[in-house]
């Protein structure tokens, strides 16, 4: 769907922690001239001792030099639910749920978009002046050694195993200082409980 209005991209997730795959996709959106801002919505919950405030602190550090990005807390336990709830109170404008066209999230994006169109399941909740469109980025998820797709649980596992060398591969475009910051923050808080 075409739009002349600049788009606000919603990028919800647990982000315990945010990783290189997320960063690459967010950066791609920030370079898209159709995008005016990207809202990274960090969900609640605890994963191996990594809390929402720790996740937000890490995300803010890694995203501070990417234009158009803001990072915030959300109260909803499901990342997709957070995006649905965001739309219910959104200011007039055009919004899209951020995702790569190369992974399994595309169906979820289609459902989110179609559900907010006239006749859609959630259209009655869409405030006046709010439009929801599909704006996917054609980018493959980043992978690491052996073609294994980056995941936050693997990152936490590497910190628990004190494998800092493998850990750095999860942040291929980050500076050494940022990688060390993330590793040290995770190491301070991580526990074996609460996957």
Q: What is the DSSP string of 34-100?
A: TEEEEEEEE----BTTB-HHHHHHHHHHHHTTSTTEEEEE---SSHHHHHHHHHHTPPSEEEEE--B
Q: How far apart are CA 44 and CA 158, in angstroms?
A: 22
- pLDDT one-digit tens code per residue, 33-42: 999 999 999 9
Tell me what pLDDT residue 1 has.
Answer: 46
Residues above pLDDT 70, as percent of the chain: 88
What domains are there in the chain, each with its CATH number? 7-140 (3.40.50.620)
Asked if 64 and 95 count as a contact pair (C-beta separation under 8 A), the reply is no
Q: At what angle do helices 176-189 and 152-160 cross, to 10 degrees?
A: 70
Tell me the average pLDDT of the chain.
89
Question: pLDDT digits over 51-87, tens only?
Answer: 999 999 999 999 999 999 999 999 998 988 999 999 9
Give the DSSP letter of residue 171: -
pLDDT of 3 > 60? The answer is no
98-145 pLDDT, tens digit each: 986 656 677 888 999 999 999 999 999 999 999 999 987 766 655 654
Q: Give the pLDDT of residue 104.
A: 67
Distance CA 147, CA 150 (A): 9
User: Both ends of the chain: CA-CA distance in Å?
Assistant: 39
The predicted model scores a pTM of 0.90
- Predicted confidence at residue 106, as pLDDT, reads 76
């Amino acid at each position: 769907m075409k739009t002349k209005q600049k788009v606000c991209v919603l990028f919800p997730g647990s982000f315990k922690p945010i990783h290189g795959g997320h960063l690459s996709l967010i950066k791609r959106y920030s370079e898209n001239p159709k995008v005016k801002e990207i809202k990274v919505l960090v969900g609640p919950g605890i994963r191996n001792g990594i809390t929402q405030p720790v996740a937000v602190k890490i995300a803010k550090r890694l995203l501070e030099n990417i234009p158009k990005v803001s990072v915030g807390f959300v109260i909803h336990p499901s990342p997709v639910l957070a995006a649905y709830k965001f739309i219910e109170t959104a200011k007039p404008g055009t919004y899209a749920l951020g995702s790569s066209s190369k992974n399994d999230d595309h169906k979820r994006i289609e459902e989110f978009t179609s559900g907010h169109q006239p006749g859609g399941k959630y259209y009655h909740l869409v405030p006046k002046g709010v439009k929801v469109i599909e704006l996917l980025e054609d980018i493959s998820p980043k992978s690491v050694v052996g073609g294994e797709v980056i995941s936050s649980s693997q990152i936490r596992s590497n910190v628990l195993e004190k494998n800092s060398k493998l850990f750095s591969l999860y942040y291929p475009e980050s500076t050494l200082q940022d990688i060390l910051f993330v590793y040290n923050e995770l190491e301070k808080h991580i526990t074996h409980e609460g996957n």
